[in-house]
Amino acid sequence: MPTCKEVQEVAEETRSDAAAPQGVTREFHFTLDNNLTEKQLMFYVINSNTKVYINGELVFDKHRSETNKVSATGCYWVNLTLLRADNGKEVTVELQPLYAATVKRAVTFYEGSQYPLFWKILKQDAVFCFFGIFLILFGIIYLGISFYYCVKMRIRLNLSSLGMVSVLVGCWKISDTCLITWLLPAHVRFFSYLSSIAILLLPFFVAMYINISARPHSTIQRAMYGLMIGNAVLAAIAGLLHLLRIVALRESQGIFVYLILAEAIFMIVLEFVVYPRHRNDMRHKLFMASVICLMLSISLDVLCFLIWHSSNLMFFTMIGIVVYIVAIGILTLRNAQDKLFRDKATGLYNRNKCNELIHMGIAPDDRLCFMMFDLNGLKKTNDNCGHDAGDQMIAKFAEVLRNSIPAGNFIGRSGGDEFISIIYNTDEERVKKIIADMWEQITVFNQENEHGVWQLGAAVGYAFVKEVSSRSYKDLYKLADKRMYENKRAMKAVRTE
Protein backbone atom coordinates (compact mmCIF):
# COMPACT_ATOMS: atom_id res chain seq x y z
CA MET A 1 0.00 0.00 0.00
CA PRO A 2 1.44 3.43 -0.97
CA THR A 3 2.70 5.44 1.97
CA CYS A 4 3.76 9.01 2.57
CA LYS A 5 5.33 10.47 5.65
CA GLU A 6 6.44 13.83 6.91
CA VAL A 7 10.19 14.35 7.17
CA GLN A 8 10.89 14.76 10.88
CA GLU A 9 14.57 15.64 11.27
CA VAL A 10 14.99 18.88 9.33
CA ALA A 11 17.77 21.34 10.13
CA GLU A 12 16.91 24.94 9.21
CA GLU A 13 19.11 28.01 9.05
CA THR A 14 18.50 31.53 7.76
CA ARG A 15 21.44 33.47 6.38
CA SER A 16 21.81 36.98 5.06
CA ASP A 17 21.95 37.19 1.28
CA ALA A 18 22.22 40.58 -0.40
CA ALA A 19 21.19 39.08 -3.74
CA ALA A 20 17.94 37.63 -2.34
CA PRO A 21 14.65 39.60 -2.78
CA GLN A 22 14.18 40.02 1.01
CA GLY A 23 17.88 39.88 1.87
CA VAL A 24 17.69 36.35 3.34
CA THR A 25 17.96 32.77 2.13
CA ARG A 26 16.43 29.95 4.15
CA GLU A 27 18.22 26.59 4.00
CA PHE A 28 16.75 23.23 5.01
CA HIS A 29 18.85 20.07 5.39
CA PHE A 30 17.62 16.50 5.83
CA THR A 31 18.39 12.92 4.76
CA LEU A 32 16.12 10.81 2.55
CA ASP A 33 14.70 7.60 4.02
CA ASN A 34 16.35 4.31 3.04
CA ASN A 35 13.23 2.14 3.40
CA LEU A 36 10.66 3.73 1.10
CA THR A 37 10.18 1.97 -2.25
CA GLU A 38 8.17 4.77 -3.91
CA LYS A 39 10.35 7.83 -3.70
CA GLN A 40 8.96 11.31 -4.23
CA LEU A 41 9.96 14.47 -2.42
CA MET A 42 7.10 16.96 -1.98
CA PHE A 43 6.65 20.30 -0.25
CA TYR A 44 4.54 23.44 -0.64
CA VAL A 45 6.21 26.77 -1.40
CA ILE A 46 4.60 30.18 -0.82
CA ASN A 47 5.94 32.89 -3.16
CA SER A 48 9.61 32.01 -2.97
CA ASN A 49 12.49 31.19 -5.30
CA THR A 50 13.36 27.53 -4.75
CA LYS A 51 16.43 25.36 -5.36
CA VAL A 52 16.74 21.67 -4.39
CA TYR A 53 20.11 19.91 -4.15
CA ILE A 54 20.69 16.16 -3.64
CA ASN A 55 24.22 15.46 -2.45
CA GLY A 56 25.22 18.90 -3.76
CA GLU A 57 23.74 18.37 -7.25
CA LEU A 58 21.03 20.85 -8.34
CA VAL A 59 17.88 18.89 -9.30
CA PHE A 60 15.20 21.62 -9.12
CA ASP A 61 15.29 25.39 -9.72
CA LYS A 62 12.27 27.71 -9.86
CA HIS A 63 12.59 31.47 -9.58
CA ARG A 64 10.84 34.57 -10.78
CA SER A 65 11.93 36.47 -13.87
CA GLU A 66 15.33 38.11 -13.58
CA THR A 67 14.16 41.08 -15.66
CA ASN A 68 10.90 41.70 -13.78
CA LYS A 69 11.49 42.25 -10.07
CA VAL A 70 7.77 42.41 -9.23
CA SER A 71 6.71 39.21 -10.98
CA ALA A 72 5.40 36.39 -8.80
CA THR A 73 6.22 32.71 -8.68
CA GLY A 74 2.87 32.04 -7.04
CA CYS A 75 2.29 29.30 -4.48
CA TYR A 76 3.25 25.90 -5.85
CA TRP A 77 4.09 22.31 -5.03
CA VAL A 78 7.56 20.94 -5.56
CA ASN A 79 7.00 17.31 -6.56
CA LEU A 80 10.24 15.51 -7.38
CA THR A 81 10.41 11.90 -8.49
CA LEU A 82 13.53 10.33 -6.97
CA LEU A 83 15.60 7.33 -7.98
CA ARG A 84 16.21 4.26 -5.84
CA ALA A 85 19.84 5.36 -5.76
CA ASP A 86 18.78 8.55 -3.93
CA ASN A 87 17.94 6.58 -0.76
CA GLY A 88 19.86 7.94 2.22
CA LYS A 89 21.24 10.96 0.36
CA GLU A 90 21.50 14.46 1.81
CA VAL A 91 18.92 17.00 0.60
CA THR A 92 19.40 20.76 0.74
CA VAL A 93 16.51 23.10 -0.04
CA GLU A 94 17.11 26.82 -0.52
CA LEU A 95 14.15 29.22 -0.34
CA GLN A 96 14.37 32.93 -1.08
CA PRO A 97 11.08 34.57 0.03
CA LEU A 98 9.85 37.19 -2.42
CA TYR A 99 7.82 39.12 0.15
CA ALA A 100 8.33 40.01 3.80
CA ALA A 101 5.14 38.16 4.83
CA THR A 102 6.59 34.81 3.69
CA VAL A 103 9.99 35.04 5.37
CA LYS A 104 8.96 33.04 8.44
CA ARG A 105 6.36 30.73 6.91
CA ALA A 106 6.73 27.11 8.05
CA VAL A 107 7.63 24.52 5.40
CA THR A 108 6.71 20.84 5.71
CA PHE A 109 8.53 18.18 3.67
CA TYR A 110 7.01 14.84 2.65
CA GLU A 111 8.56 11.76 1.09
CA GLY A 112 6.96 8.64 -0.31
CA SER A 113 3.98 8.28 -2.66
CA GLN A 114 2.07 11.35 -3.86
CA TYR A 115 -1.37 9.68 -3.61
CA PRO A 116 -1.72 9.60 0.21
CA LEU A 117 -0.56 13.24 0.29
CA PHE A 118 -3.10 14.18 -2.40
CA TRP A 119 -5.94 12.65 -0.37
CA LYS A 120 -4.73 14.52 2.71
CA ILE A 121 -4.78 17.82 0.78
CA LEU A 122 -8.15 16.97 -0.74
CA LYS A 123 -9.69 16.36 2.69
CA GLN A 124 -8.13 19.57 4.00
CA ASP A 125 -9.13 21.88 1.12
CA ALA A 126 -12.23 20.32 -0.47
CA VAL A 127 -14.57 22.16 1.92
CA PHE A 128 -12.94 25.52 1.14
CA CYS A 129 -13.03 24.89 -2.60
CA PHE A 130 -16.71 24.01 -2.22
CA PHE A 131 -17.33 27.24 -0.28
CA GLY A 132 -15.44 29.18 -2.95
CA ILE A 133 -17.39 27.65 -5.84
CA PHE A 134 -20.62 28.13 -3.90
CA LEU A 135 -19.85 31.83 -3.36
CA ILE A 136 -18.91 32.35 -7.01
CA LEU A 137 -22.13 30.68 -8.23
CA PHE A 138 -24.25 32.64 -5.76
CA GLY A 139 -22.50 35.84 -6.80
CA ILE A 140 -23.21 35.19 -10.48
CA ILE A 141 -26.86 34.42 -9.67
CA TYR A 142 -27.12 37.66 -7.65
CA LEU A 143 -25.60 39.65 -10.51
CA GLY A 144 -28.07 38.10 -12.95
CA ILE A 145 -31.05 38.80 -10.68
CA SER A 146 -29.87 42.37 -10.10
CA PHE A 147 -29.50 42.95 -13.84
CA TYR A 148 -33.01 41.56 -14.46
CA TYR A 149 -34.59 43.77 -11.81
CA CYS A 150 -32.71 46.82 -13.07
CA VAL A 151 -33.66 46.32 -16.74
CA LYS A 152 -37.15 44.85 -16.42
CA MET A 153 -38.45 46.23 -13.13
CA ARG A 154 -36.46 49.49 -12.86
CA ILE A 155 -35.51 48.54 -9.29
CA ARG A 156 -31.93 48.96 -8.09
CA LEU A 157 -30.89 46.17 -5.74
CA ASN A 158 -27.81 45.99 -3.53
CA LEU A 159 -27.46 42.42 -4.85
CA SER A 160 -25.16 43.66 -7.63
CA SER A 161 -22.44 44.80 -5.20
CA LEU A 162 -23.10 41.85 -2.88
CA GLY A 163 -22.79 39.53 -5.88
CA MET A 164 -19.39 41.01 -6.74
CA VAL A 165 -18.27 40.64 -3.10
CA SER A 166 -19.39 37.00 -3.20
CA VAL A 167 -17.55 36.30 -6.48
CA LEU A 168 -14.35 37.99 -5.29
CA VAL A 169 -14.32 36.21 -1.90
CA GLY A 170 -14.91 32.90 -3.71
CA CYS A 171 -12.04 33.55 -6.16
CA TRP A 172 -9.78 34.62 -3.29
CA LYS A 173 -10.58 31.49 -1.29
CA ILE A 174 -10.12 29.03 -4.16
CA SER A 175 -6.89 30.69 -5.33
CA ASP A 176 -5.30 30.40 -1.89
CA THR A 177 -5.86 26.66 -1.42
CA CYS A 178 -3.07 24.09 -1.77
CA LEU A 179 -5.44 21.85 -3.72
CA ILE A 180 -5.87 24.17 -6.71
CA THR A 181 -2.10 24.46 -7.24
CA TRP A 182 -1.73 20.68 -6.96
CA LEU A 183 -4.44 20.09 -9.57
CA LEU A 184 -3.35 22.91 -11.93
CA PRO A 185 0.41 23.32 -11.46
CA ALA A 186 0.83 25.07 -14.83
CA HIS A 187 -1.42 27.97 -13.75
CA VAL A 188 -0.05 28.87 -10.31
CA ARG A 189 0.89 32.42 -11.37
CA PHE A 190 -2.62 33.00 -12.70
CA PHE A 191 -4.15 32.00 -9.35
CA SER A 192 -1.60 34.15 -7.50
CA TYR A 193 -2.63 37.23 -9.50
CA LEU A 194 -6.32 36.29 -9.23
CA SER A 195 -6.03 36.23 -5.44
CA SER A 196 -4.25 39.61 -5.36
CA ILE A 197 -6.73 41.27 -7.73
CA ALA A 198 -9.68 39.92 -5.71
CA ILE A 199 -8.23 41.44 -2.53
CA LEU A 200 -7.59 44.78 -4.30
CA LEU A 201 -11.18 45.02 -5.60
CA LEU A 202 -13.02 43.77 -2.51
CA PRO A 203 -12.91 47.02 -0.46
CA PHE A 204 -14.45 48.97 -3.36
CA PHE A 205 -17.42 46.61 -3.66
CA VAL A 206 -17.89 46.31 0.11
CA ALA A 207 -18.08 50.13 0.24
CA MET A 208 -20.51 50.08 -2.70
CA TYR A 209 -22.69 47.53 -0.88
CA ILE A 210 -22.84 49.75 2.24
CA ASN A 211 -23.51 52.78 0.04
CA ILE A 212 -26.49 51.19 -1.73
CA SER A 213 -27.84 49.80 1.55
CA ALA A 214 -27.64 53.18 3.32
CA ARG A 215 -30.48 55.66 3.48
CA PRO A 216 -30.46 57.94 0.38
CA HIS A 217 -28.58 61.25 0.82
CA SER A 218 -27.49 60.26 4.33
CA THR A 219 -24.07 61.04 5.84
CA ILE A 220 -23.20 57.34 5.64
CA GLN A 221 -23.99 57.20 1.93
CA ARG A 222 -21.87 60.28 1.23
CA ALA A 223 -19.01 58.82 3.29
CA MET A 224 -19.21 55.58 1.33
CA TYR A 225 -19.05 57.52 -1.96
CA GLY A 226 -15.78 59.01 -0.75
CA LEU A 227 -14.51 55.61 0.38
CA MET A 228 -15.40 54.05 -2.97
CA ILE A 229 -13.42 56.75 -4.79
CA GLY A 230 -10.51 56.30 -2.36
CA ASN A 231 -10.52 52.51 -2.81
CA ALA A 232 -10.66 52.86 -6.60
CA VAL A 233 -7.71 55.30 -6.58
CA LEU A 234 -5.66 53.04 -4.28
CA ALA A 235 -6.37 49.99 -6.45
CA ALA A 236 -5.39 51.94 -9.58
CA ILE A 237 -2.16 53.11 -7.93
CA ALA A 238 -1.32 49.55 -6.82
CA GLY A 239 -1.96 48.26 -10.36
CA LEU A 240 0.12 51.06 -11.88
CA LEU A 241 3.04 50.47 -9.50
CA HIS A 242 2.98 46.80 -10.45
CA LEU A 243 2.90 47.55 -14.19
CA LEU A 244 5.82 49.98 -13.76
CA ARG A 245 7.68 47.20 -11.89
CA ILE A 246 8.09 49.31 -8.75
CA VAL A 247 5.97 47.43 -6.15
CA ALA A 248 4.40 43.99 -6.59
CA LEU A 249 0.65 43.58 -6.16
CA ARG A 250 1.22 41.00 -3.43
CA GLU A 251 3.26 43.51 -1.40
CA SER A 252 0.58 46.23 -1.51
CA GLN A 253 -2.40 43.99 -0.74
CA GLY A 254 -1.93 44.26 3.04
CA ILE A 255 -3.49 47.72 3.11
CA PHE A 256 -6.54 46.38 1.25
CA VAL A 257 -6.99 43.56 3.75
CA TYR A 258 -7.09 46.17 6.53
CA LEU A 259 -9.59 48.21 4.50
CA ILE A 260 -11.85 45.16 4.15
CA LEU A 261 -11.64 44.53 7.90
CA ALA A 262 -12.37 48.20 8.72
CA GLU A 263 -15.38 48.31 6.39
CA ALA A 264 -16.73 45.03 7.78
CA ILE A 265 -16.44 46.38 11.35
CA PHE A 266 -18.13 49.64 10.27
CA MET A 267 -21.00 47.72 8.68
CA ILE A 268 -21.51 45.59 11.79
CA VAL A 269 -21.44 48.65 14.10
CA LEU A 270 -23.87 50.44 11.77
CA GLU A 271 -26.33 47.56 11.95
CA PHE A 272 -26.22 47.53 15.75
CA VAL A 273 -26.92 51.28 15.76
CA VAL A 274 -29.83 50.88 13.32
CA TYR A 275 -31.22 47.74 14.99
CA PRO A 276 -33.21 49.45 17.81
CA ARG A 277 -35.25 51.30 15.16
CA HIS A 278 -36.34 47.98 13.64
CA ARG A 279 -36.66 45.93 16.81
CA ASN A 280 -40.03 44.47 15.76
CA ASP A 281 -39.05 43.81 12.13
CA MET A 282 -38.60 40.03 11.72
CA ARG A 283 -36.50 40.43 8.60
CA HIS A 284 -34.13 42.78 10.35
CA LYS A 285 -33.87 40.29 13.22
CA LEU A 286 -32.87 37.59 10.72
CA PHE A 287 -30.36 39.98 9.21
CA MET A 288 -28.90 40.71 12.64
CA ALA A 289 -28.66 36.96 13.31
CA SER A 290 -26.55 36.56 10.15
CA VAL A 291 -24.32 39.50 11.20
CA ILE A 292 -23.83 37.99 14.67
CA CYS A 293 -23.02 34.62 13.05
CA LEU A 294 -20.36 36.34 10.93
CA MET A 295 -18.89 38.10 13.98
CA LEU A 296 -18.73 34.86 15.98
CA SER A 297 -17.13 33.06 13.04
CA ILE A 298 -14.40 35.69 12.70
CA SER A 299 -13.85 35.65 16.48
CA LEU A 300 -13.42 31.86 16.47
CA ASP A 301 -10.80 32.09 13.70
CA VAL A 302 -8.94 34.83 15.59
CA LEU A 303 -9.03 32.65 18.73
CA CYS A 304 -7.70 29.64 16.78
CA PHE A 305 -4.89 31.81 15.42
CA LEU A 306 -3.95 33.09 18.89
CA ILE A 307 -3.93 29.58 20.41
CA TRP A 308 -2.46 27.49 17.58
CA HIS A 309 -0.95 30.23 15.37
CA SER A 310 -3.00 28.97 12.48
CA SER A 311 -6.27 30.24 11.08
CA ASN A 312 -6.98 26.86 9.42
CA LEU A 313 -7.74 28.71 6.17
CA MET A 314 -10.38 30.86 7.94
CA PHE A 315 -12.77 27.91 8.26
CA PHE A 316 -15.27 29.57 10.60
CA THR A 317 -15.05 32.90 8.77
CA MET A 318 -15.92 31.19 5.50
CA ILE A 319 -19.00 29.62 7.10
CA GLY A 320 -20.01 33.03 8.47
CA ILE A 321 -19.52 34.71 5.07
CA VAL A 322 -21.62 32.06 3.31
CA VAL A 323 -24.43 32.37 5.89
CA TYR A 324 -24.32 36.17 5.68
CA ILE A 325 -24.34 36.38 1.87
CA VAL A 326 -27.15 33.83 1.50
CA ALA A 327 -29.24 35.50 4.25
CA ILE A 328 -28.76 38.99 2.82
CA GLY A 329 -29.58 37.75 -0.68
CA ILE A 330 -32.82 36.15 0.46
CA LEU A 331 -33.85 39.22 2.49
CA THR A 332 -32.99 41.55 -0.40
CA LEU A 333 -35.11 39.51 -2.81
CA ARG A 334 -37.98 39.51 -0.32
CA ASN A 335 -37.72 43.28 -0.03
CA ALA A 336 -37.65 43.57 -3.83
CA GLN A 337 -40.77 41.44 -4.01
CA ASP A 338 -42.38 43.81 -1.50
CA LYS A 339 -41.55 46.74 -3.75
CA LEU A 340 -43.20 44.94 -6.65
CA PHE A 341 -46.23 43.64 -4.75
CA ARG A 342 -46.79 46.10 -1.88
CA ASP A 343 -49.10 49.11 -2.10
CA LYS A 344 -47.19 52.22 -1.01
CA ALA A 345 -50.24 53.99 0.44
CA THR A 346 -51.36 51.11 2.70
CA GLY A 347 -48.53 48.60 3.03
CA LEU A 348 -50.97 45.89 1.88
CA TYR A 349 -50.48 43.72 -1.18
CA ASN A 350 -51.07 45.77 -4.34
CA ARG A 351 -53.20 45.30 -7.45
CA ASN A 352 -50.51 43.25 -9.24
CA LYS A 353 -50.37 40.70 -6.42
CA CYS A 354 -54.17 40.61 -6.08
CA ASN A 355 -54.65 40.04 -9.83
CA GLU A 356 -51.97 37.36 -9.85
CA LEU A 357 -53.70 35.55 -6.99
CA ILE A 358 -57.22 35.94 -8.43
CA HIS A 359 -56.33 34.68 -11.90
CA MET A 360 -53.95 31.87 -10.92
CA GLY A 361 -55.00 30.75 -7.44
CA ILE A 362 -56.88 27.60 -6.44
CA ALA A 363 -58.40 27.30 -2.98
CA PRO A 364 -56.45 24.74 -0.93
CA ASP A 365 -59.39 23.58 1.21
CA ASP A 366 -63.12 24.02 1.83
CA ARG A 367 -62.67 26.18 4.94
CA LEU A 368 -61.56 29.23 2.94
CA CYS A 369 -63.48 32.48 2.52
CA PHE A 370 -62.89 35.14 -0.15
CA MET A 371 -63.90 38.65 1.03
CA MET A 372 -64.42 41.87 -0.96
CA PHE A 373 -64.55 45.40 0.47
CA ASP A 374 -65.53 48.62 -1.31
CA LEU A 375 -64.63 51.88 0.45
CA ASN A 376 -67.60 54.24 0.39
CA GLY A 377 -67.26 57.89 -0.62
CA LEU A 378 -63.63 57.88 -1.80
CA LYS A 379 -64.36 59.71 -5.07
CA LYS A 380 -66.41 62.34 -3.23
CA THR A 381 -63.61 62.85 -0.70
CA ASN A 382 -61.02 63.21 -3.49
CA ASP A 383 -63.19 65.71 -5.36
CA ASN A 384 -64.20 67.83 -2.35
CA CYS A 385 -61.19 67.57 -0.04
CA GLY A 386 -58.29 66.67 -2.31
CA HIS A 387 -56.28 63.51 -2.88
CA ASP A 388 -54.33 63.88 0.36
CA ALA A 389 -57.58 63.41 2.29
CA GLY A 390 -58.44 60.46 0.03
CA ASP A 391 -55.05 58.89 0.77
CA GLN A 392 -55.68 59.30 4.51
CA MET A 393 -59.07 57.64 4.09
CA ILE A 394 -57.52 54.68 2.23
CA ALA A 395 -54.73 54.31 4.81
CA LYS A 396 -57.21 54.41 7.72
CA PHE A 397 -59.42 51.75 6.17
CA ALA A 398 -56.37 49.55 5.54
CA GLU A 399 -55.50 49.93 9.22
CA VAL A 400 -59.04 48.88 10.16
CA LEU A 401 -58.73 45.76 7.99
CA ARG A 402 -55.37 44.81 9.49
CA ASN A 403 -56.83 45.17 12.99
CA SER A 404 -59.96 43.17 12.13
CA ILE A 405 -58.51 40.29 10.09
CA PRO A 406 -56.32 37.79 11.99
CA ALA A 407 -52.62 37.66 11.11
CA GLY A 408 -51.59 35.07 8.54
CA ASN A 409 -54.43 35.80 6.13
CA PHE A 410 -54.13 37.63 2.81
CA ILE A 411 -55.14 41.32 2.63
CA GLY A 412 -54.68 43.37 -0.52
CA ARG A 413 -55.78 46.57 -2.25
CA SER A 414 -57.12 45.36 -5.59
CA GLY A 415 -58.17 48.79 -6.92
CA GLY A 416 -58.55 52.45 -6.01
CA ASP A 417 -61.31 51.88 -3.46
CA GLU A 418 -61.50 48.07 -3.50
CA PHE A 419 -59.83 45.63 -1.13
CA ILE A 420 -59.80 41.84 -0.95
CA SER A 421 -58.98 39.36 1.77
CA ILE A 422 -58.57 35.58 1.80
CA ILE A 423 -59.36 34.05 5.17
CA TYR A 424 -57.96 30.55 5.70
CA ASN A 425 -59.37 27.81 7.94
CA THR A 426 -62.53 29.71 8.86
CA ASP A 427 -66.30 29.48 8.94
CA GLU A 428 -69.24 31.88 8.57
CA GLU A 429 -69.35 32.71 12.27
CA ARG A 430 -65.73 33.87 12.25
CA VAL A 431 -66.25 35.85 9.04
CA LYS A 432 -69.23 37.64 10.57
CA LYS A 433 -67.08 38.45 13.61
CA ILE A 434 -64.46 40.00 11.31
CA ILE A 435 -67.16 42.18 9.71
CA ALA A 436 -68.53 43.13 13.15
CA ASP A 437 -65.04 44.09 14.37
CA MET A 438 -64.53 46.16 11.23
CA TRP A 439 -67.78 48.07 11.74
CA GLU A 440 -67.06 48.58 15.42
CA GLN A 441 -63.75 50.27 14.57
CA ILE A 442 -65.38 52.32 11.79
CA THR A 443 -68.10 53.49 14.18
CA VAL A 444 -65.59 54.49 16.87
CA PHE A 445 -63.51 56.40 14.32
CA ASN A 446 -66.53 58.21 12.85
CA GLN A 447 -67.73 59.22 16.32
CA GLU A 448 -64.30 60.54 17.27
CA ASN A 449 -64.13 62.45 13.97
CA GLU A 450 -67.76 63.49 13.79
CA HIS A 451 -66.85 66.94 12.49
CA GLY A 452 -64.10 65.70 10.18
CA VAL A 453 -64.09 66.28 6.42
CA TRP A 454 -64.73 62.62 5.71
CA GLN A 455 -66.31 59.55 7.31
CA LEU A 456 -65.42 55.87 6.88
CA GLY A 457 -67.80 53.29 5.46
CA ALA A 458 -67.54 50.16 3.33
CA ALA A 459 -69.63 47.57 1.54
CA VAL A 460 -68.72 43.91 2.11
CA GLY A 461 -69.29 40.69 0.20
CA TYR A 462 -67.87 37.22 0.75
CA ALA A 463 -68.00 33.69 -0.67
CA PHE A 464 -66.93 30.27 0.63
CA VAL A 465 -65.19 27.58 -1.42
CA LYS A 466 -68.09 25.16 -0.98
CA GLU A 467 -70.28 27.61 -2.93
CA VAL A 468 -68.07 27.39 -6.06
CA SER A 469 -67.58 24.09 -7.89
CA SER A 470 -64.34 25.15 -9.64
CA ARG A 471 -62.60 26.10 -6.33
CA SER A 472 -60.81 28.87 -8.27
CA TYR A 473 -60.14 32.28 -6.72
CA LYS A 474 -61.46 33.85 -9.91
CA ASP A 475 -64.95 32.39 -9.42
CA LEU A 476 -64.83 33.15 -5.69
CA TYR A 477 -63.92 36.74 -6.57
CA LYS A 478 -66.89 37.04 -8.95
CA LEU A 479 -69.35 35.73 -6.36
CA ALA A 480 -67.95 37.89 -3.53
CA ASP A 481 -67.92 40.94 -5.85
CA LYS A 482 -71.56 40.35 -6.78
CA ARG A 483 -72.56 40.14 -3.10
CA MET A 484 -70.52 43.20 -2.24
CA TYR A 485 -72.42 45.31 -4.80
CA GLU A 486 -75.68 43.90 -3.49
CA ASN A 487 -74.62 45.06 -0.04
CA LYS A 488 -73.67 48.47 -1.48
CA ARG A 489 -77.09 48.90 -3.11
CA ALA A 490 -78.78 47.87 0.15
CA MET A 491 -76.76 50.48 2.07
CA LYS A 492 -77.72 53.20 -0.44
CA ALA A 493 -81.39 52.18 -0.14
CA VAL A 494 -81.24 52.54 3.64
CA ARG A 495 -79.64 56.00 3.38
CA THR A 496 -82.39 57.24 0.95
CA GLU A 497 -85.28 56.13 3.17
- Cα distance between residue 159 and residue 147, in whole Å: 9
CB atoms within 10 A of CB 319: 18
What's the pTM value of the predicted model, to 2 decimals?
0.71
pLDDT, residue 121, reads: 93
- Cα distance between residue 186 and residue 302, in whole Å: 33
Which of 435, 431, 421 has its CA nearest to residue 473?
Answer: 421
Model confidence over 213-242: pLDDT tens digits?
777 777 888 888 888 999 999 999 999 988
Using an 8 Å Cβ cutoff, are 31 and 91 in contact?
yes
Q: What is the side-by-side strand order in the sheet with 40-46? A: 4-6, 109-112, 40-46, 75-81
Angstrom CA distances, 31 to 49, 53, 88, stand at 22, 11, 6
Instruction: Extract the runs of DSSP E, i.e. beta strands, from 291-417.
Output: 369-375, 410-413
Using an 8 Å Cβ cutoff, are 7 and 109 in contact?
yes
Using an 8 Å Cβ cutoff, are 259 and 288 in contact?
no
Predicted confidence pLDDT, tens digits, the chain (497 residues): 678 889 989 999 999 998 898 899 999 999 988 776 668 899 999 999 999 999 999 999 998 887 777 777 889 999 998 888 888 899 999 999 998 878 888 899 999 888 999 999 999 888 888 988 999 998 999 899 888 888 876 777 778 888 898 899 899 889 988 999 999 999 998 998 998 899 899 889 888 888 887 777 778 888 888 889 999 999 999 999 888 888 888 888 778 878 877 877 777 677 666 545 555 555 566 666 776 776 677 666 656 655 654 444 567 777 777 887 888 788 777 777 777 788 888 889 998 889 888 888 888 888 899 999 999 988 888 888 888 888 899 999 999 999 999 988 999 999 888 999 999 999 999 999 999 999 999 999 988 887 677 889 999 999 999 998 888 999 999 999 999 999 999 888 776 55
b/e per residue, 181-205, with b = 16+ CB within 10 A? Answer: bbeeeeebeebbbbbbbbbbbbbbb
The three-class DSSP label of residue 9 is coil
Instruction: Give one DSSP letter per residue of 164-186, joined into a string.
Output: HHHHHHHHHHHHT-HHHHHH-GG
Using an 8 Å Cβ cutoff, are 375 and 417 in contact?
yes
- Cα distance between residue 456 and residue 447, in whole Å: 10
Question: Can you give the length of the chain in residues?
Answer: 497
pLDDT, residue 302, reads: 56
CB atoms within 10 A of CB 495: 9
Which of 134, 131, 194, 204 has its CA nearest to residue 164?
Answer: 204
According to DSSP, residue 19 is labeled T
Measured between alpha carbons, how far apart are the two ends of the chain, in Å?
Answer: 102
Question: Dihedral through CA 154, CA 155, CA 158, CA 162, nearest 10?
Answer: -60
pLDDT, residue 272, reads: 65
pLDDT, residue 313, reads: 52
pLDDT, residue 38, reads: 66
